[in-house]
Homo-oligomer: A and B are copies of this chain.
């Protein structure tokens, strides 16, 4: 029996803890691949091209948009970030599970292009906790944090378009939950090719 690969899209409000959860779950599942994003942001010290990001210049990013080579893309703080479709599709063709963390707009774009992906919504434990997380990052002003919280409240309504939801109360529990979801999706009849059943007794 051959199991087909699938894409897991981890999304939710900014500050819900998507990236932390993604990094916690990656080492737990052997055939899980991280979807490497492309970006026009210059590499930070220690970041490796093709591992952390595909680092592109503006012209190369424009060309990929023009050829519809992104599952989703967006601009943050003057730089563009996108999910290259080819990287994902090559991993899926090899039977891997691919995981990406994107914001809710990004998840919406991906759902249009890959409706059979597994869409997981990560809920921050509460708005107070979300505020605390945004503040502890220390990268944003009080006004920016207030704006983010307002957006987060609006975004939570998007949960109805998702397959699964995880409350990020405790990282370990959230991680186990995501592992269970991926393992269960692996066991879906619709994701398996049964042309060779293990029935040698015929």
- Residues on A lying within 8 angstroms of B by beta carbon are 1, 121, 123, 125-128, 130-131, 149, 153, 156, 159-160, 162-167, 176-177, 179-181, 183-185, 187-189, 192, 194, 197-202
Contacts and interface: CB of A to CB of B under 8 A. Distances in A.
Contact of A184 (B164, B192, B198): B164
A118 to B, nearest CB: 10
A127 B189 contact: no
B187 A164 contact: yes
Given A183-B180, A183-B184, A126 B198 contact: yes
B200 A127 contact: yes
Contacts of A192: 165
B164 A201 contact: no
B162 A198 contact: no
Contacts of A149: 201
B189 A184 contact: no
A183 B187 contact: no
Given A126-B201, A153-B202, A200-B128, A187 B194 contact: no
A149 B189 CA distance: 22
A177 B181 contact: no
A159 B194 contact: yes
A75 to B, nearest CB: 27
A11 to B, nearest CB: 12
